[in-house]
């Protein structure tokens, strides 16, 4: 089956199971400030997974276009892409594990035609510490037995344990929460308070022992060694983390996601996703334009095909290249594809020939592609022409700066110079990278790629020097210290700090009044107000708003001490610190607490700061906390604006 046929078959299959096909969401969700792009099928459905009633019922299915910008640097191997389609089906308090597992297995084997002997699965091993039982393998065993397969169980533990234990003749593998537990921030101990969560069961396709890289240890499904590829993940949202531990949700949900590209690769028994019907025609066009073969230039051709496919769909959804946020990622995708094309010897504009190929692959199943075809081509070609001039200028300057004795090289011993460039230590400095970026608009990553291509070493302190120069430039460009953002993140103006502190108090007050399901979805703080987005299915009553105001003002008058300590992220979540839904955290975080000495803190929250030292500072000048506006931000998300007045 082609990828297009698999997509259609999947939607039809779940329609037969009484699911409603819903439209894909835009890659760019304007109403959700917490995420850059739609990165999974479940993101647009979060309010409904949290309890809001969906207008199309309790059984839903779609194919969601996704972009994960964090994977840009991974593209080039045989399985990573920044743009992909996620086949997804959901049960909102309806069917659960048995039906989901049975249906997905049926789809893979009986509809797509995968060999069941090449299918392996993983399940959650349980946690005695957290009172969560081990998943039951009986459903999987019964399905494999129906195909004449003896499904042996292997108790693995962690993925690292799997590297040592290997296959052991297993078919069903039990892993710990590092592999088979879903929350928005990883395992059990890092599951944020109030969040839905639960075990998951992953499905893997075996491409054979010949694809295993021995440097990864023994083969097993959760290894990245190349033998196995995850083609689907069934998340069973059945718990919520509370102060009392992990408690069962009133409504248990199923959230399934399976990569169309990966399932399609399994369907043709190829570990290379770029050989599927949605990507191979782009590769063939690149071979035609460059006169080069894919087998000799796989990295460059994969990057071009992936990046231009992603940029095409961003254009479909109305994003235009720019230097900010979504537009910046789009610009980076286009420009990186152009540099890789330059490596292939394609030095002339070529997007006008490639983008129509991509559009043709999707226009039958995505009417918006056909409708906006000319606009899509125009958007990408315009950016290509503009960057072509930047690229020429940047490469010319790069050559100047990295000529022998040029500004970009470290000092070398001229006595060692024997007319052979190989005898000279070449090193690209942070100063040159900044110069090319600042003066020529030449992207940092392209400077590094050019250096790598020419065997020029990048100075160890290049990134540090570049960031220092960027910071100095920002400081020079600031017209006034007051109201300036420190580090590009937080406004340090005193009234802004006060409103920031008030936001923490309000967050906890909202949870006390509306319940623990309230989760922060975004915020923006200025010197005269705070804007706060949070999950809640309905409009707040006047009584609820008044109660929130009362609680916040009481905590202000108590003159609570505000302090912070740094903790490992896992420990921070374990102690009950709250975060914002969708945020990713470093290994170590600041945790701010607001409370009286010797008493349980009123607020415990992960935050970069800054805050006032004591809450009564918010009342200076006789000010009180006041909610000035409460409205819908998007489906299942409410927005509050509040001020100290």
Higher-pLDDT residue of 458 and 491 is 458
Burial 347-372 (b: 16+ CB within 10 A, else e): eeebbeebbbbbbebbbeebebbeeb
Q: Nearest Cα to 160, choosing from 74, 79, 218, 226?
A: 218
At residue 34, the pLDDT reads 62
User: What phi, psi does 486 have (nearest 5°)?
Assistant: -85, 120
Task: Tell me what pLDDT residue 506 has.
Answer: 96
- The pLDDT of residue 568 is 85
Instruction: Give the 3-state DSSP-derived string for 20-54, with helices as H, strands as E and coil as C.
Output: EECCCCCCCCCCCCCCCCCCCCCHHHHHHHCCCCC
The β-bridge relationship of strands 20-21 and 59-67 is parallel
With a cut of 80, say whether residue 118 has pLDDT above it: yes
Angstrom distance (rounded) from CA 176 to CA 34: 29
pLDDT at 71 over 90: no
Q: Which position has the token pair 């503009």?
A: 386
The full set of domains in the chain, from first to last, is 3-275 (3.30.930.10), 279-396 (no CATH), 416-477 (no CATH), 490-644 (3.30.980.10)
User: Where is average pLDDT lowest: 382-396, 551-565, 616-630?
Assistant: 382-396
Crossing angle for the helix pair 325-343 and 444-453, nearest 10 degrees?
20
Alpha carbon distance 506, 533 (integer Å): 11
Where do runs of H (alpha helix) occur along 125-204? 138-146, 159-165, 177-180
Q: Give the model confidence (pLDDT) of 165-189 as tens digits.
A: 999 999 999 999 999 999 877 899 9
Is residue 37 very low, low, confident or very high in pLDDT (cuts 50, 70, 90)?
confident
Q: Using N-to-C axis directions, what is the helix angle for 298-316 and 325-343, rounded to 10°?
A: 150
Based on the number of CB atoms within 10 Å of its own CB, is 533 exposed (0-12), middle (13-18) or buried (19 or more)? buried
Given a cut of 60, whether residue 416 has pLDDT beyond it is no
What's the pLDDT at 562? 92
- Average pLDDT in the chain: 87
Helix/strand/coil (H, E, C) string of 315-359? HHCCCCCCCCHHHHHHHHHHHHHHHHHHHCCCCCCCHHHHHHHHH
| Whole-number Å distance between alpha carbons of 331 and 334 | 5
Is pLDDT larger for residue 122 or for residue 327? 122
Task: Identify the residue whose tokens are 């006390």.
Answer: 512
- Give 573's contacts (C-beta < 8 A, 6+ positions apart): 185, 189, 190, 191, 192, 193, 579
Q: Is 80 helix (H, G, I), strand (E, B) or coil?
A: coil
Q: Which token pair is 579? A: 């975060």
Least confident of 95-104, 117-126, 337-346: 337-346
* DSSP string for residues in 227-274: SEEEEEEEEEEEEEEETTEEEEEEEEEEEEEEEHHHHHHHHTT-S-GG
pLDDT tens by residue, 149-162:
999 999 999 999 99
Instruction: Please report the pLDDT score of residue 211 as a whole number.
Output: 95
Classify residue 545 by burial, with Cβ atoms within 10 Å: 0-12, 13-18, 19+.
Answer: middle
Q: Are 178 and 127 in contact (CB under 8 A)?
A: no
d(CA 96, CA 380): 44
- CB 30: neighbour CB atoms within 10 A? 9
Distance, in Å, from the CA atom of 520 to the CA atom of 535, rounded to the nearest integer, reads 7
User: Looking at residue 593, what is its pLDDT?
Assistant: 92
Say how many CA atoms lie within 13 Å of 100 toward its Cβ: 30
Query: Of 254, 235, 246, which is closest to residue 516 (Cα–Cα)?
Result: 246
Low-confidence winner among 114-123, 305-314, 391-400, 496-505 (lowest mean pLDDT) = 391-400
Quickly state the pLDDT bin for 580 (edges 50, 70, 90): low
Given a contact cutoff of 8 angstroms between Cβ atoms, the answer to whether 555 and 602 are in contact is yes
The mean per-residue pLDDT over the stretch 256-285 comes to: 97
- pLDDT class of 33 with cuts at 50, 70, 90: low
More confident residue, 243 or 376: 376
**Residue 233 confidence class, pLDDT cut points 50, 70, 90:** very high
Contact between 375 and 359 (Cβ < 8 Å): no
Question: Any residues with CB less than 8 A from the CB of 569 and at least 6 apart, and which?
Answer: 185, 190, 585, 586, 587, 588, 589
Structure tokens at 254: 């199923």
| pLDDT confidence band for 475 (50 / 70 / 90) | low
User: Which of 61-75, 238-252, 413-427 is least confident?
Assistant: 413-427
* Residue 610: cis peptide before it, omega within 30 degrees of 0: yes
- Per-residue CA distances from 388 to 25, 265, 322, 352 (Å): 33, 34, 16, 14
Return the pLDDT at 42: 83
Neighbouring C-beta atoms of residue 583, cutoff 10 Å: 15
Specify the residue for token string 């992953």: 202
| Residue positions counted in the chain | 645
Which band of pLDDT confidence, cut at 50, 70 and 90, is reported for residue 363? very high
Question: How far is the C-alpha of 592 from the C-alpha of 612, rounded, in Å?
Answer: 11
Kindly state the average pLDDT of the residues 405-418. 37
Rounded mean pLDDT, 219-228? 96
Rounded distance between C-alpha atoms, residue 124 and residue 45, angstroms: 24
pLDDT of residue 623: 94
**What's the pLDDT at 149?**
98
pLDDT of residue 445: 75
User: What number of other Cβ atoms are within 10 A of residue 415's Cβ?
Assistant: 6
pLDDT tens track for 492-523: 578 888 999 999 999 999 999 998 878 888 88
Query: What integer is the mean pLDDT of 481-497?
Result: 48
Please determine, for residue 74, whether its predicted confidence score (pLDDT) is greater than 60: yes
pLDDT of residue 478 exceeding 80: no
Which two structure tokens, joined as six digits, stand for 550? Answer: 């009362």
Kindly tell me the burial class for residue 488, based on how many C-beta atoms sit within 10 Å of its own C-beta (0-12, 13-18, 19 or more).
exposed
CB 643 within 8 A of CB 528: yes
Supply the pLDDT for residue 194. Answer: 82
Bridge partners, residue 122, by sequence: 173, 202
Distances in whole angstroms, Cα of residue 411 to Cα of each of 427, 428, 448, 529: 9, 11, 20, 54
Task: Report the pLDDT averaged over residues 214-229.
Answer: 96
What's the pLDDT score for residue 362? 96
Supply the pLDDT for residue 413.
34
Which tokens belong to 591? 């945790």
pLDDT at 220: 98
């Amino acid at each position: 089956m082609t990828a297009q046929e698999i997509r259609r078959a999947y939607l039809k299959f779940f329609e037969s199971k009484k699911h409603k096909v819903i439209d894909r969401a835009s890659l760019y969700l304007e109403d959700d400030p917490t995420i850059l792009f739609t990165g999974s099928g479940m993101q647009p459905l979060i309010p409904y997974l949290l309890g809001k009633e969906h207008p199309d019922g309790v059984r839903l299915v779609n194919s969601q276009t996704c972009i994960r910008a964090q994977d840009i640097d991974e593209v080039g191997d045989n399985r990573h892409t920044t743009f992909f389609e996620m086949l997804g089906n959901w049960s909102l308090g309806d069917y659960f594990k048995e039906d989901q597992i049975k249906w997905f297995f049926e789809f893979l084997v009986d509809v797509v035609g995968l060999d069941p002997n090449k299918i392996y699965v993983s399940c959650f091993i349980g946690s005695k510490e957290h009172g969560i039982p081990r998943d039951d393998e009986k459903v999987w065993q019964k399905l494999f037995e129906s195909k004449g397969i003896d499904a042996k169980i292997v108790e693995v533990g962690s993925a690292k344990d799997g590297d040592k234990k290997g296959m052991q003749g297993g078919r069903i593998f039990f892993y710990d929460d590092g592999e088979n537990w879903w929350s928005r921030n990883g395992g059990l101990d890092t599951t944020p308070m109030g969040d839905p969560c639960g075990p998951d069961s992953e499905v893997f396709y075996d491409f054979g022992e010949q694809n295993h890289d021995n440097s990864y240890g023994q083969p097993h499904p959760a290894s990245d060694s190349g033998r196995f590829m995850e083609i689907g993940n069934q998340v069973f949202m059945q718990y919520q983390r509370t102060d009392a531990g992990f408690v069962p949700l009133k409504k248990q949900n199923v959230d399934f996601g399976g990569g169309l590209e990966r399932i399609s690769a399994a369907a043709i028994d190829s570990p290379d996703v770029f050989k599927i019907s949605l990507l191979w025609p782009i590769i063939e066009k690149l071979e035609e334009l460059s006169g080069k073969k894919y087998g000799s230039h796989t990295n460059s051709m994969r990057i071009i095909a992936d990046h231009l496919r992603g940029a095409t769909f961003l254009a479909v959804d109305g994003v235009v290249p720019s230097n900010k946020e979504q537009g910046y990622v789009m610009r980076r995708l286009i420009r990186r594809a152009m540099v890789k094309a330059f490596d292939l010897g394609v030095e002339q504009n070529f997007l006008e020939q490639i983008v129509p190929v991509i559009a043709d692959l999707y226009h039958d199943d995505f009417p918006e592609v056909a409708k906006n075809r000319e606009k899509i081509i125009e958007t990408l070609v315009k950016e290509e022409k503009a960057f072509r001039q930047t690229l020429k200028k940047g490469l010319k300057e790069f050559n100047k700066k990295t000529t022998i004795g040029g500004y970009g090289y470290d000092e070398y011993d001229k006595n060692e110079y024997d007319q052979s460039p190989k005898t000279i230590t070449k090193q690209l400095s942070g100063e040159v990278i900044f110069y090319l970026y600042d003066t020529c608009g030449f992207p940092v990553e392209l400077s590094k790629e050019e250096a790598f291509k020419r065997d020029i070493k990048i100075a160890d302190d290049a990134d540090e020097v570049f960031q220092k120069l960027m910071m100095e430039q920002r400081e020079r460009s600031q017209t006034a210290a007051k109201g300036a953002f420190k580090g590009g993140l937080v406004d340090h103006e005193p009234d802004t700090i006060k409103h920031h502190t008030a936001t923490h108090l309000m967050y906890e007050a909202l949870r006390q009044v509306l319940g623990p399901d309230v989760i922060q979805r975004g915020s923006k703080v200025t010197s005269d107000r705070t804007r706060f987005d949070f999950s809640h299915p309905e409009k707040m009553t006047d009584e609820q708003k008044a109660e929130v105001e009362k609680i916040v003002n009481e905590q202000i008058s108590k003159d609570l001490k505000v302090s912070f300590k740094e903790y490992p992220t896992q420990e921070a979540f374990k102690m009950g610190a709250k975060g914002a839904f969708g945020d990713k955290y470093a290994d170590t975080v600041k945790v701010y607490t607001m409370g009286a000495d010797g008493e349980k803190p009123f607020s415990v929250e992960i935050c970069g700061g800054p805050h006032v030292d004591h809450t009564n500072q918010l009342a200076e000048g006789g000010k009180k906390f006041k909610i000035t506006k409460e409205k819908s931000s998007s489906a299942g998300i409410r927005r509050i604006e509040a001020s100290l007045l």
